[in-house]
Amino acid sequence: MTTHVFHRTPERPAIATRARGIEITDAEGKTYIDSSGGAAVSCIGHGDPRVVEAIAKQAATVEYAHTGAFTSEPAEALAERLCRSTTLPLDKVFIVGSGSEAVETAVKMARGYHLARGDEGRHRVIARRQSYHGNTLGALARGGHVARRTPFLPMMPEALLVDPCFAYRHALPGETPEAYGLRAADSLEAEILRLGPDTVSAFLAETVVGATTGAVPPVPGYFRRIREICDRYGILMISDEVMCGVNRCGPFFAIEEDGAAPDIVTLGKGMGGGYQPIAAAMCTAAVHDAYSDAGRSFVNGHTYMAHPVACAAALAVQDVIRDDGLAARVAPMGEKLRQRLESRFGNHPNVGDIRGRGLFQAIEIVADRDDKTPFAASDGMAGRIFDACRDLGLLVYPGSGTVDGIRGDHLLVAPPYNVTEAQIDTIVARLGDGVDAGL
Ligand code: PLP
């Protein structure tokens, strides 16, 4: 069958014709368990009638009004809800259409903050070698996702990337997690001093790393040290929670567990739960007040920013999370998922690590579990296992990343927060069969 859609893969993928709860059905009538909601997007499951109704209602009321002239009721209500949902002192929300836009917004917001304070030299953004912050050129320029960056390197400024926090690969034998965390964080200070503190605007990091290495949480104390270093040099701390935020790891923002309050936080996927394209950058009152005190606007408009229908959908998704008590389910159901993964893969010769937080878990696939030798890129292991799982009626999120020359393959499992125990059993059983079939 011919297609005029420019697909991301050489072959046209299956056509999705129906999505309900945790399942997606294709045009051939095959039904899949959507165990990771794409890239951890689907947080309340598919097809919730409450969200569908909110979308229809808003579309019939005000489908679009330019943000230069108007705000909208759902945008105002959504921003208020997000600020109340987190324990972090975040006070303002800049609403955009995708995680990449949210990251670019955060980076520009930080630069504007320094300009407003007369600190014109501060423009550099430091990130980490293990990171993914989005696919637009500006966001890609900040991250450390080697495969996605490589074709476009000549078009991007040199990235300023410091050590990741990835204990499985980089902690030294006998080193405690805390000591490792301080060592990893201190590479930020070394880079700030190398560049000159007065030139650095912000440090950008995912709290729990998603796409490059698969659900890698920080070790205890790491982000506290990062916060100290940022404060010491007047640098803004940006937490990218596009994948791990909005209760995916339990708390509204994952970093709430790490004892460090960022100046700016990005969120995306779970914000709209897949019902509409929507994301945001949230900031503290101090960041926002720097603009207002200087009488400056934030020059960062997008045609579809704070789109009323998208905001209504995201608000309805947040209502579902609240009304169905879904946030409180994440920790216990995440624990059950983790236990099932441990019992299925704990002794598997090709599973080197099982990790994550809440309903954000991953398994790392290796050629040799004992010495952590990865598979070669040419083996395409994550893709092979993804294909095998899909044949078995399970969708997982595969990923391959290279950090400091060491590659890795992982499979991410990030089901909706209303996943049942029986569904978790089926997910892990099919994943087990898929791993064995794909190897
Ligand atoms: N930041 C993180 C941590 C992500 O995982 C992603 C997407 O996977 C992005 C940013 C970019 O989001 P989007 O694909 O919505 O542009």
CATH number at residue 288: 3.40.640.10
Residues 6+ apart with CB under 8 A from 295: none
Q: Are 438 and 389 in contact (CB under 8 A)?
A: yes
Range of the domain at 164: 52-323
Same domain as 377, residue 266: no
DSSP 155-183: GSPPPEEE----HHHHSPTT--HHHHHHH
Same domain as 158, residue 108: yes
Q: How far is the CA of 109 from the centre of ligand 1 (A)?
A: 18
Residues 6+ apart with CB under 8 A from 410: 213, 214, 215, 362, 363, 364, 365, 382, 398, 399, 400, 401
Same domain as 28, residue 157: no
Same domain as 187, residue 303: yes
- Whether 224 maps to a domain, the answer reads yes
* φ, ψ at 206 (rounded to 5°): -75, 140
- Whether 66 maps to a domain, the answer reads yes
The whole-number pLDDT of residue 146 equals 87
> Of 194, 216, 195, 196, which Cα lies nearest the Cα of 205?
216
ipTM of the complex: 0.99
Q: How far is the CA of 250 from the centre of ligand 1 (A)?
A: 19
Same domain as 219, residue 314: yes
| Helix 285-293 × helix 99-116 angle, to 10° | 50
Q: How many angstroms separate the CA atoms of 262 and 269, rounded? A: 19
Residue 101 Cα: closest atom of ligand 1: 16
- Whether 146 maps to a domain, the answer reads yes
- Whether 9 maps to a domain, the answer reads no
Final residue in a domain of this structure, among 283, 304, 323:
323
Same domain as 282, residue 139: yes
Helix (H, G, I), strand (E, B) or coil at 8: coil
The whole-number pLDDT of residue 1 equals 65
Task: Count, in order, helices (H) and strands (E) of the chain.
Answer: 14, 15
Final residue in a domain of this structure, among 323, 352, 385:
323
Same domain as 372, residue 282: no
Which two tokens mark 357? 């937080």
Same domain as 265, residue 142: yes
In sequence order, what are the beta bridge partners of 402? 407
In sequence order, what are the beta bridge partners of 216? 209
Residue 427 zone, left/alpha/beta (φ > 0; ψ -120 to 50; rest): alpha
Residue whose entry in the numeric block shows the structure tokens 């078995």: 392
**172-189 in b/e burial notation, b at 16+ Cβ within 10 A?**
eeeeeeeebbebbbebbb
**What is the per-residue pLDDT across 386-434, written as a single tens digit (0 to 9) for each?**
999 999 999 999 999 888 888 999 999 999 999 999 999 999 999 999 9
The whole-number pLDDT of residue 404 equals 85
Same domain as 241, residue 187: yes
If one residue of 98, 132, 216, 239 were mutated to test the ligand 1 pocket, choosing by the most ligand atoms within 8 A of its CB, it would be: 132
Q: What number of other Cβ atoms are within 10 A of residue 433's Cβ?
A: 16
pTM for the whole structure: 0.98
Q: Are 402 and 147 in contact (CB under 8 A)?
A: yes
Helix (H, G, I), strand (E, B) or coil at 214: coil
If one residue of 142, 243, 246 were mutated to test the ligand 1 pocket, choosing by the most ligand atoms within 8 A of its CB, it would be: 243
**What is the per-residue pLDDT across 266-276, written as a single tens digit (0 to 9) for each?**
999 999 999 99
Residue 209 Cα: closest atom of ligand 1: 3
Final residue in a domain of this structure, among 288, 323, 358:
323
The 8-class DSSP code of residue 255 comes to G
- Whether 60 maps to a domain, the answer reads yes
With a Cβ cut-off of 6 Å, ligand 1 is lined by 39, 98-100, 103, 132-135, 206, 210-211, 240, 242-243, 268, 279
H/E stretch holding 403 reads strand 397-403
Residue 306 zone, left/alpha/beta (φ > 0; ψ -120 to 50; rest): left
- Whether 183 maps to a domain, the answer reads yes
Residues with pLDDT less than 50, the chain: none
Same domain as 309, residue 331: no
Q: How far is the CA of 121 from the centre of ligand 1 (A)?
A: 28
- Whether 7 maps to a domain, the answer reads no
- Whether 1 maps to a domain, the answer reads no
Counting the structural domains of the chain, the total is: 2
Same domain as 30, residue 67: no
The 8-class DSSP code of residue 193 comes to H
Same domain as 297, residue 380: no
